[in-house]
Amino acid sequence: MTDNDLTSYSDIDLIERVLEKDSQAAEVLVRRYNQLLFRIARGFTQSNGDAMDIVQEAHLRALQNLSSFRGPTGYSSWLTVITRNVALNRLRTDQRLEFFGDDEPVSSCPTFSVSEPVMNQNILQLLEKEIDQLPVMYRTVFVMRSVQGMTSLETADSLGLDVNVIKTRYRRARLQLQSQLIAHMERESMSLYEFAGERCNTVTRNVLSEWQKCRPKTLN
């Protein structure tokens, strides 16, 4: 069985193979969710390197504890919660970052003047720069909603917050970003915070290497 053959497998079918110590199935499962987890992680941190560390740790925790997953559906949600917990643990060690805030109005982000025509890559770089300047409590919600395309309810479930809090934070995040950039981002959302090529390969290699050292175990 090749990796290409396995890419058509459902999550639960891959999980069953991973529990049987199938490393190819594990690789496909990791690659399938690298992009999702990276975007979620980047919502919590402004550093690509830190985000990659969060993704690796989340994947490894999931693989080590697959026997506790109560499928057959919902693996992405389960994995998202693990990623959130890993990211929040990191946030708690940095007193400068605040996630569970009081949602008071925050100061405006720097304004950028965009002339036309502007190359698509420059627009995307500008968008990522502005999004990175949002307070973490708003950035996480904004990335999940606008970049990843999750609903308010899905975002609320993933972050463990009330849906009304999500809606408020999303609205305030949008107010801090220029309307012309917002419109462009939502048309080109799949191009933001891309996690392909060597980034994806590096995380996948690291996760599988660590997983091989400690096969899946059952949580007590």
Structure confidence by residue, pLDDT tens digits, 89-107: 888 776 544 444 444 433 3
CATH-assigned architecture of domain 4-92: Orthogonal Bundle (1.10)
Q: How far apart are CA 184 and CA 159, in angstroms?
A: 26
Per-residue model confidence (pLDDT) at position 161: 94
| Mean pLDDT, residues 148-177 taken together | 92
Is the bond leading into 105 cis (omega within 30 degrees of zero)? no
Domain boundaries, the chain: 4-92, 118-219
- Token reading at 145: 């909603």
Contacts of 82 (CB under 8 A, 6+ apart): 58, 61, 62
As assigned by CATH, the class of the 118-219 domain is mainly alpha
**Matching CATH topology for 4-92 and 118-219?**
no
Measured CA distances, 141 to 18, 89, 131, 150, 174 (Å) = 32, 17, 11, 9, 10
Q: Is the pLDDT of residue 81 over 50?
A: yes
Q: How far apart are CA 181 and CA 185, in angstroms?
A: 6
Q: How far apart are CA 189 and CA 171, in angstroms?
A: 17
| Mean pLDDT, residues 39-44 taken together | 91
Where on the phi/psi map is residue 73: left (φ > 0), alpha (ψ -120 to 50), or beta?
A: beta
Predicted confidence band of residue 118 (pLDDT cuts 50, 70, 90) = very low
Q: Is the pLDDT of residue 87 over 50?
A: yes
Q: What percent of the chain has pLDDT over 70?
A: 75
Per-residue model confidence (pLDDT) at position 72: 81
Residue with the bigger pLDDT between 156 and 133: it is: 156
Q: How far apart are CA 3 and CA 164, in angstroms?
A: 42
Q: Is the pLDDT of residue 207 over 70?
A: yes
